[in-house]
Amino acid sequence: MSGLALPSKRGTVVADVMMVGRQLRYEQLNFWRNRFGAVFTVGFSVIFLVMLAMSGATHRAAAIGNIALIQYYVPGFAAYGLMSACYNNLGISMVIRRETGLLKRLRLSPIPSWALVGAILANAAVISIVQVILLLLIGRYGYNVVLPHVWAPFVLAIAVGVVAFTALGAAVSTLVRSQESAGPIVSIIFFVLLFLSGLWFPLTPGSGLAKLANYFPIHHLILATAAPFDTAPGASPYAWHDLLVVAIWGAAGLIVAIRRFQWEPHRH
Amino acid sequence: MVSAAQVAVEVDGLSKRYGTLEAVRSVSFAVERGEVFALLGPNGAGKTTTVEILEGFRSRDAGTVSVLGHDPSGRPRALRERLGIVLQELAVEPNLTVREVLTRNAGYYPSPRPVDEVIALVGLEGKASSRIARLSGGQQRRLDVGLGIIGRPELIFLDEPTTGFDPSARRGAWDLVRALQEGGTTIILTTHYMDEAEALADRVAVIARGQIVALGPPSSIGGRDVSEATIRFRMPPGVAASDLPVPARAIGEFAELTSADEIESLHRLTGWALERALPLTGLTVERLTLEDVYLRLTAGSDGAGSIGAPTEQLSASVGGRR
Ligand SMILES: Nc1ncnc2c1ncn2[C@@H]1O[C@H](COP(=O)(O)OP(=O)(O)O)[C@@H](O)[C@H]1O
Ligand SMILES: [Mg+2]
């Protein structure tokens, strides 16, 4: 009954990696062509930054060591853009893919599941990186933001953020059962936590809000991306504690995502 | 017995439960290469569950399954490259075009059909550059079929391929199934339309409540070929049932009789009418239709509500074509 299991001619690692690349290309096409999704995910981080800059963020703020607020908003909105792509957009789109049967169809096709999942994650990473670069350019050339002298700590913070928030996006997608509720549920969690994150206004240290925000990863990712931009003498560009909190949340998200993941739509 | 090389699919004692629901109960059948095999049954009969186990998407609780020589439960890629699958639900990225999606999926297979050939086969020539989101329901369904055949599969699963189609789209889909069969493709389709099974399938398995209740060519399934024939004609003017040379009963202005030997009955009847120069207008001879057999076999089934109340089913099974 086993028959001869002919080895797949194209089953080499190189061919499979190329398959991820091909799949990623179509993921990108599908993402950027959806104007609403692209604006909501990418446009907002830019719009927020520009709006805040226009409303006086180029002034210096005593609460954060007398530096220009924009110096804090650029990495802050880079973190926002990353979370918007990896958590919000990926979380919603995973629910839609699952509930419309898209995941099921791809599961039945010959593309290896890891190549498919890899392309979906790489898609979120690419969207994040595009935003980060866009925001850095706007900050540098639009508002004279001082960019980090060494890039390693910033790149590390972005990398940890992409992995952790992608895991959290995938995790939250397993908690939502229907396509219609995906947008509201995923985004409400996101914006409530964002509000607590100190992005819109720096949190007063020791306040109740600051203590609450400390338990969630958003605030910490913003601190970790902002640290390399800190121009104060002696400030460390590596926010290890914040990175650790983000990584722990990411690991928890990964466990939930793996344990609860399913390929097929829920039955309604 | 056919040799192993000629068998595309072999299923033996297949069972599957969802919680306490026994969705598939000890189902066995074999499909030969090149055959069109239909699983015919009402909604909820277990058709989708059965094909999804064969596709490797779902696990089974009992039984052995062999698909093109593989056990599908491990989802071997070498098997997936040889299968074509058309699901019951539509699912394609909305912002890609017809050509893009077909080109992308063609890349998953070792020797795909040319994209333009597939576009022509499913009749989407005018829509090749349209986004999926802008296609009509019928066009999306045709793209679905296109995605099912892009990999030049040896075996295709079509789960209710024409549900929701208008009659002309349906004919188009049937023509495509026939064309695929002529090209040597083995086809397993599910349907709850009897005419579809009759028009397309070499053999039909009627499935109800998770069990196969009849299996065979549509022409002889459920004893259709050996059942009694029903002869009907308009009662000639001035003739009573008792005057006829055959034991017929009057039903309104018609006479009707059932006969195990309709040649003999017809000979007597027409000879009698010729002698007296009487007309036998509206003369018909009918055996059980597939619909009659189907309704009788699936009567009382959970999903049978969609095709008629139980009493209607019983009367249909004795009355022949209405
Ligand atoms: N994933 C599932 N979980 C629980 N029950 C299911 C699931 N899929 C199907 N069923 C049930 O199993 C039975 C057979 O379903 P299905 O195979 O879809 O039938 P068909 O395709 O013939 O309509 C039905 O009663 C259906 O409600
Ligand atoms: Mg079904």
Q: By three-state DSSP, how is residue A267 classified?
A: coil
CB B257 within 8 A of CB B246: yes
Minimal CA separation from B229 to chain A, in Å: 44
pLDDT, tens only, A146-163:
888 889 999 999 999 999
What are all long-range contacts of B220-223, with beta carbons under 8 Å and residues at least 24 apart?
B221/B290, B221/B293, B222/B288, B222/B293, B222/B294, B222/B296, B222/B297, B223/B288, B223/B293
Give the Å distance between the CA of A112 and the centre of ligand 1: 27
Q: Which atom of ligand 1 is closest in space to residue B41's alpha carbon?
A: 22
pLDDT score recorded for residue B317: 33
Q: B40 φ, ψ to 5°? A: -110, 125
Q: Would you say domain B4-223+295-318 falls under CATH 3.90.1150.10?
A: no
The pTM score is 0.83
**Domain of A20, in residue numbers:** 13-260
CA B130 to chain centre: 32
Q: B38 φ, ψ to 5°? A: -110, 135
Of chain B, the percentage scoring pLDDT greater than 70 comes to 91
- Cβ of B151 within 8 Å of Cβ of A110? The answer is yes
Query: Which residue bears the tokens 């209740």?
Result: B213
pLDDT score recorded for residue A54: 81
Looking at the complex, does the CB of residue A1 fall below 8 Å from at least one CB of chain B?
A: yes
Which of A44-48, A68-72, A167-171 shows the lowest mean pLDDT across its residues? A68-72
Of chain A, the percentage scoring pLDDT greater than 70 comes to 91
Higher pLDDT, A14 or A202: A14
- Nearest residue (by CA) to ligand 1, atom 9, is B49
Q: Helix B137-149 vs helix B167-182: angle between axes, to the nearest 10 degrees?
A: 10
Higher pLDDT, B13 or B173: B13
**Which residues 99-158 of chain A have a CB within 8 Å of chain B?**
100-102, 104-105, 107-112
**Is residue A4 situated within a structural domain?**
no
pLDDT score recorded for residue B39: 97
Looking at the complex, does the CB of residue A19 fall below 8 Å from at least one CB of chain B?
A: yes
**Is residue A8 situated within a structural domain?**
no
Interface test with B, best of A25, A35, A99, A105 (most B CBs within 10 A): A105
pLDDT score recorded for residue B138: 81
* Cα–Cα distance, B122 to B143 (Å, whole number): 7
Higher pLDDT, A66 or B145: B145
Higher pLDDT, A168 or B228: A168
* Cα–Cα distance, B236 to B132 (Å, whole number): 61
pLDDT, tens only, B181-215:
999 999 999 999 888 999 999 999 999 999 999 99
**Which residues 94-123 of chain B have a CB within 8 Å of chain A?**
94-96, 100-101, 104-105, 107-110
Residue of B183, B189, B199, B188 lying closest to B117 (CA atoms): B183
pLDDT, tens only, B209-259:
999 999 999 888 877 777 778 899 999 988 888 889 999 888 888 999 888
pLDDT score recorded for residue B7: 94
**Is residue A3 situated within a structural domain?**
no
* Cα–Cα distance, B167 to B34 (Å, whole number): 26
pLDDT score recorded for residue A60: 60
Higher pLDDT, B259 or B10: B10
pLDDT score recorded for residue A5: 40
pLDDT, tens only, A92-112:
999 999 999 999 999 999 999
CA dist list (Å): B277 to A21, B116, B236, B237, B241: 83, 63, 10, 11, 17
CB A265 within 8 A of CB A101: yes
H or E element, residue B158: strand B155-159
Neighbours of B299 (CB within 10 A): 18
Q: How confident is the model at residue A127 (pLDDT cuts 50, 70, 90)?
A: very high
Chain A neighbors of B110, CB-CB under 8 A: 8-10
- Nearest residue (by CA) to ligand 1, atom 21, is B48
H or E element, residue B156: strand B155-159
CA dist list (Å): A111 to A107, A136, B84: 7, 36, 13
Residues recorded for chain B: 322
Domain count, chain A: 1
pLDDT score recorded for residue A65: 55
pLDDT score recorded for residue A150: 87
Chain A neighbors of B155, CB-CB under 8 A: none
* Cα–Cα distance, B189 to A58 (Å, whole number): 67
Q: Report domain extents, chain B.
A: 4-223+295-318, 228-286
pLDDT, tens only, B66-96:
999 999 999 999 999 999 999 877 678 889 9
B64 pairs with which residues across the strands?
A: B12
pLDDT score recorded for residue B85: 94
pLDDT, tens only, A226-253:
989 887 777 788 899 999 999 999 999 9
Which of A54-63, A146-155, B42-51 shows the lowest mean pLDDT across its residues? A54-63
Neighbours of A54 (CB within 10 A): 9
pLDDT score recorded for residue A182: 94
- Residue A137: left (phi > 0), alpha (psi -120 to 50), or beta? alpha
Does the C-beta of B21 come closer than 6 Å to ligand 1?
A: yes
* Cα–Cα distance, B241 to B224 (Å, whole number): 28
Residue A143 scores a pLDDT above 80? yes
Give the Å distance between the CA of A110 and the centre of ligand 2: 23
Looking at the complex, does the CB of residue B194 fall below 8 Å from at least one CB of chain A?
A: no
pLDDT score recorded for residue A27: 95
* Cα–Cα distance, B237 to B258 (Å, whole number): 22
Higher pLDDT, A4 or B30: B30
pLDDT, tens only, B16-30:
999 999 999 999 999
Q: By three-state DSSP, how is residue B217 classified?
A: coil
In chain B, count H helices and then E strands: 10, 13
- Cβ of B92 within 8 Å of Cβ of A30? The answer is no
Mean pLDDT of A77-99: 94
Minimal CA separation from A204 to chain B, in Å: 44
- Nearest residue (by CA) to ligand 1, atom 2, is B18
**Is residue A1 situated within a structural domain?**
no
Give the Å distance between the CA of A173 and the centre of ligand 1: 24
User: Best of B14, B16, B18, B58 to mutate for ligand 1, by most ligand atoms within 8 A of CB?
Assistant: B18
Q: Which two tokens stand for residue A227?
A: 């640290």
pLDDT score recorded for residue B298: 78
Higher pLDDT, B273 or B321: B273
* Cα–Cα distance, B73 to B66 (Å, whole number): 10
Chain A residue with Cα closest to B85? A108
Sign of CA dihedral A112, B184, B33, B88: positive
Residue A114 scores a pLDDT above 50? yes
pLDDT score recorded for residue A124: 95
Chain A residue with Cα closest to B133? A34
Question: Considering every ligand atom, which ligand is closest to the CA of B304?
Answer: 1
Buried b (16+ CB within 10 A) or exposed e, B172-210: bbbebbeebbeeebbbbbbbbbbebbbbbbebbbbbbbb
CA dist list (Å): B292 to A134, A202, B88, B195: 69, 76, 26, 12
- Residue B277: left (phi > 0), alpha (psi -120 to 50), or beta? left
What's the whole-number average pLDDT of chain B? 87
What's the whole-number average pLDDT of chain A? 87
Q: Which residues contact B229 (CB under 8 A, 6 or more apart)?
A: B258, B259, B260, B262, B285, B286, B287
Of chain A, the percentage scoring pLDDT greater than 90 comes to 58
Looking at the complex, does the CB of residue A11 fall below 8 Å from at least one CB of chain B?
A: yes
Residues recorded for chain A: 268
* Cα–Cα distance, B294 to B264 (Å, whole number): 29
Residue of A236, A268, A265 lying closest to A102 (CA atoms): A265
Looking at the complex, does the CB of residue A4 fall below 8 Å from at least one CB of chain B?
A: yes
Of B70, B91, B109, the CB nearest to A104: B91
Neighbours of A244 (CB within 10 A): 13
